[in-house]
Copies of this chain bind each other. A is one copy, B any other.
Amino acid sequence: MNEFELIQAYFSTLASKGAGRGVELGIGDDCAILNPPANSQLVVSTDTLIAGVHFPESTSAFDIGFKSLAVNLSDLAAMGAYPLWFTLCITLPDRDTQWIEGFCNGMAKLVQQTGIQLVGGDTTKGPLSISVHVTGDVPIGKALTRHGASVGDDVYVSGVIGHGAAGLNMALSGFDAPDDKRFDRCFLDALQRFNQPQPRLGLGLALRGIATSCIDISDGLLADLEHVLCASKAGASLKLELVPLSDAVMKSDLFGDKSEREKRLLACNAGDDYELCFTVPESKRESVEALAVEQSVILTRIGKVVEGASIVEEGGCVELVSLGYQHF
């Protein structure tokens, strides 16, 4: 099976059979031809995942496929964008068709959930690496960005923080549910969310016109909030004890004999949560509450945007230093 047959047999299943939204010509030519939606702006993002860096070497092909697309969709969610199209560059060490099938199945699960369509890509031989490029659309001027937070805005976070940190530890320690003697439902949840993070696309769309800034939590809550503050030229005051923590972080002894506060700081500095952190004017608190119900998602107010350039703890003068992941 050569490159063309590989694409035909597996990857083309990720392109919808009928023409997808705005797809004039999909995979199979030098380029795809796409019709941008009227009265819209396009938002684009790209992320690479490397074995042993972005996922443990032991990760299943299905989960790698799912996660590669999920982390990119999470960037669209953070902009309040609707997913349209993606391309996939995959470098494979060999032609393991069983692996490729698993990978495509994982990706297909999210394709079905979100309606995004594969429109192009490249398959090459080498150490396992996956680069996905996603395109979404927003009505003109409605995209959420990092630079709109104002002093006085509330700071919110969706879901719970620490699934990424707990899931990574579970995976690296060889947690083998449901037979593991450490088994607890919350550990399984954390591992599941680490391997198959759910991009908050519905929430992102609903936050348009409500949030003044938004970011997805990939580097860690504190590091990502810092990106927002840096772009918005402001600081933030957080109540650390309000940050909603993953049960798996609190219950697990994988992090050693740490206090609750230490675990909380650890979770706030770990990445891979793919929740949204966003700012909203105080006057729109009720809208946020309504939205939490409508979207069936926990939205927690954890602090305020203040003058300054750093994140401090409310009531104290402790500066919370982010320790986001550094590649180099």
Contact = CB atoms under 8 A, between A and B. Distances in A.
A317 interface: no
Contact of A120 (B34, B44, B327): B44
Nearest to A81: B31
A242 interface: no
Nearest to A42: B34
Copies in the complex: 2
Nearest to A37: B36
Contacts of A33: 41-43, 79, 138, 143, 145
A46 to B, nearest CB: 5
B50 A91 contact: yes
Contacts of A48: 89, 91, 122, 124, 131
A290 interface: no
Contacts of A1: 328
A94 interface: yes
B126 A127 contact: yes
Main secondary structure on chain A at its contact with chain B?
Answer: strand
Contact of A327 (B35, B41, B89, B123): B123
Interface in A1-57: 1-3, 6, 24-25, 28-36, 40-48, 50, 53-54
A87 to B, nearest CB: 5
Interface in A101-158: 119-127, 129, 131, 133, 135-136, 138, 140, 143, 145-147
A74 to B, nearest CB: 8
A324 B127 CA distance: 22
